[in-house]
Amino acid sequence: MDATTLKMAMAGLFHDIGKIADRDTMGIGEKYFDDNANIYLPFRDGNFSHYHALYTAAFVEQMSESLPPELNSGTWGEGDSFINLAACHHKPETPMQQVITVADWLSSGMDRDEFEGEFARGIAFQDYKKTRLLPLFEQLRLPEKDTAEKFGYAYPLAPLSPEAIFPLMKEYVGKEEAKEQYRKLYDGFTKELPGLLHKSENLALWSEHFESLMMVYMSSVPAARAGKVVHDVSLYDHSRLTSAFASAIFLYHREKETLN
């Protein structure tokens, strides 16, 4: 795989990594936010939205010593920098950034249904950290689960383990408890990140190690956490699919010379 195609694939893999963190966890101050919000965040009705995109950019910068140097280099491959490809998917301004956006749309369109029950209540944005991954197997039982409230089980927000692969009876999770669970998940992920091999020797191989680490820490994180979306697809699976779409779309347009 050539450098630019690998960059596109990895940008798709990284694009939503900011969803496992927040400003407090990452220590993002006002200056960083003010300097970067207009680059990565859409602005609607007088407010910024999709904050996780900015957190993705902050992750790439903050973890630079644990990541391959190419990810913070403006000269890796052709076209846009890696950080802008990974973090501009909600505010794309170039054809390559648009590829990541379309890949994200396609992935979301394939892996996200909505609850259609008459009494289905959407999850408020303020409560997104309380959302837990719903099990697929419970949806196989009749009657149809047309609201989130009809699910009796959910996966714990925890690293992948022999215990965590089984859903548990749903329990109320408070806002602070949910925030602390995400903090522990992020801390565990970033603690193991420096130990990934082949950072300097083989970038493609390192990316496979990174994907494995994502599987451990993001298999229980719902990709969609607000609104009426059926939250039964993990952030890990969504990111892998986005990565595959991104590289395929890029290769198609490069071959057809329509990347403009």
pLDDT, one tens digit per residue, over 78-96 is 999 999 999 999 999 999 9
The more confidently predicted of residues 2 and 145 is 2
Give SS3 for 252: helix
Cα gap 89→120, rounded to integer Å = 29
Residue 174, burial from CB neighbour count under 10 angstroms (0-12, 13-18, 19+): exposed
pLDDT over 50 at 219, yes or no: yes
Q: pLDDT digit string (tens) for 160-203?
A: 999 999 999 988 788 999 999 999 999 999 999 999 999 999 99
**Residue 145's pLDDT band (cuts 50, 70, 90):** low
- pLDDT computed for residue 7 by the predictor: 99
pLDDT over 90 at 151, yes or no: no
Mean pLDDT on 113-117:
50
Share in percent of the chain as helix, strand, coil (round to 5) = 55, 5, 40
**Residue 152's pLDDT band (cuts 50, 70, 90):** confident
Cα gap 91→121, rounded to integer Å = 29
**Residue 121's pLDDT band (cuts 50, 70, 90):** low
Cα gap 77→88, rounded to integer Å = 18
pLDDT over 70 at 147, yes or no: no
Cα gap 148→131, rounded to integer Å = 10
**Residue 116's pLDDT band (cuts 50, 70, 90):** very low
pLDDT over 60 at 120, yes or no: no
List all residues 6 or more positions away from 221 whose beta carbon is below 8 Å from its beta carbon.
19, 20, 133, 157, 185, 234, 235, 236
Mean pLDDT on 39-63:
96
Mean pLDDT on 11-35:
97
Work out the percent of the chain whose per-residue pLDDT is above 70: 89
- Of 10-24, 164-178, 187-201, 230-244, the one with minimum mean pLDDT is 164-178
Average per-residue pLDDT for the chain: 90
pLDDT over 80 at 146, yes or no: no
> 241 — phi, psi (to 5°)?
-65, -40
- Of 49-58, 93-102, 109-118, 212-221, the one with minimum mean pLDDT is 109-118
DSSP letter at 122? P
Peptide bond into 143 cis (omega under 30): yes
Predicted TM-score (pTM) of this structure: 0.90
Q: How far is CA 174 from CA 122, 139, 171, 186, 252, in A?
A: 17, 25, 10, 18, 46
Cα gap 244→225, rounded to integer Å = 22
